[in-house]
Amino acid sequence: MHPAPSIVLFTVLSGLGLGQLVWLGFGLGPDDGPFRWIACALALAAAGGGGLCSTGHLGRRDRAWRAFSQWRSSWLSREACLMVVAMAAFGLYAAIWCLGGVRYWGLGIAASALSLATIYSTAMIYAQLKTVPRWSVTPTPALFLVTGLAGGVLAMGAVAALVGVASHGWWTALAMVVTIGVVIWWQTSAAGAVRSVDGATMETATGLGFMGRVRLFEAPHTGSNYLLKEMAYEVGRKRAFELRRIGAVLGLLVPLVFSVVALLVGGWLMMLALVAHVAGMLALRWLFFAEAEHVQALYYGRK
């Protein structure tokens, strides 16, 4: 599918911010004054900024409010509602913590649970689409949850390094290891799973596979259209390999190494780890959309 820059920024930034909300709500992080102010502000800014980016690919932005009206049936609507409630709950928790120096654990845990539910709802927008097997038959929710939590704890380590307090490097290293495991699991399962789902090939889509190979006799039309541009987008194999390698190195390996080394030489490396992670996640998330094959492309003879 053709990846809109706004949706790539939305999923990366909101995941980072919501992941940080989860850790802060659960009580991770020191009670140092500058830390709590900067950490809470960064978390809310990333989550809110990501939410605003989600309107960038809308044809009519003035109708974005309607996304809140279908929460009973739409994962997108549930995500929008949960995002607002989670940020409101955490905003109250952050105000009491920053101004009064007291953490209300019940409110913090509620904000963390709502943030986790928001990340899960974002993932389910894509995981529910049976017409995109790469999303529906792979652990998309696990991928979003783990990368969001990893980015959140990286952001907290960067803020701790910025204000000069003890860094939670081991938490970050653990999160990075889990992230690498989930991403590898997702990548290795995706290629084979795409072809194992009904409708993933022309033979299974037409039901004529028992007769042999099915091929397109004549194209549906001679010109391009919206579906071909948006739903049958193709990324070159070489380009995809390079982006995946860049994303894996910058988004996963570099933060993991910096997180461990920061325990020995100083927390300032955590800031570089966060920058590398965001850059790598932008590349991997772009591929997440660009490599998603929509089964309707079979109608146009695409593999």
The tens digit of pLDDT for each residue in 67-76 reads 777 777 889 8
The tens digit of pLDDT for each residue in 125-168 reads 998 988 788 888 778 888 899 889 989 998 998 998 888 887 66
Tell me the three state secondary structure of residue 61: helix
Are the C-beta atoms of 26 and 139 separated by less than 8 Å? Answer: no
Q: How far is CA 246 from the centre of its chain?
A: 17
Are the C-beta atoms of 18 and 82 separated by less than 8 Å? Answer: no
Are the C-beta atoms of 6 and 56 separated by less than 8 Å? Answer: yes
* Nearest of 165, 205, 213, 149 to residue 16 by alpha carbon: 149
- Residues 269-280 have a mean pLDDT of 91
Confidence check: pLDDT of 196 > 60: no
Per-position DSSP letters for 101-132, written without gaps between them: ----HHHHHHHHHHHHHHHHHHHHHHHT-TT-
Mean pLDDT lowest for which of 102-111, 147-156, 257-266?
257-266
5-300: CATH topology: Formate dehydrogenase/DMSO reductase fold (1.20.1630)
Distance CA(222)–CA(206), nearest Å, equals: 22
Mean pLDDT lowest for which of 20-29, 233-242, 257-266?
233-242
Task: Go through the chain and tell me how many residues it has.
Answer: 303
Confidence check: pLDDT of 232 > 70: no
- Residues 94-115 have a mean pLDDT of 93
Distance CA(68)–CA(57), nearest Å, equals: 17
Are the C-beta atoms of 108 and 26 separated by less than 8 Å? Answer: yes
**pLDDT at site 194:** 54
20: its two tokens: 């940080």
157: its two tokens: 């380590």
**pLDDT at site 301:** 64
- Residues 22-35 have a mean pLDDT of 88
Distance CA(156)–CA(98), nearest Å, equals: 16
**pLDDT at site 281:** 92
Scanning the structure block, which residue is given the tokens 């939590």?
A: 149
Scanning the structure block, which residue is given the tokens 């033979």?
A: 203
Confidence check: pLDDT of 44 > 90: yes
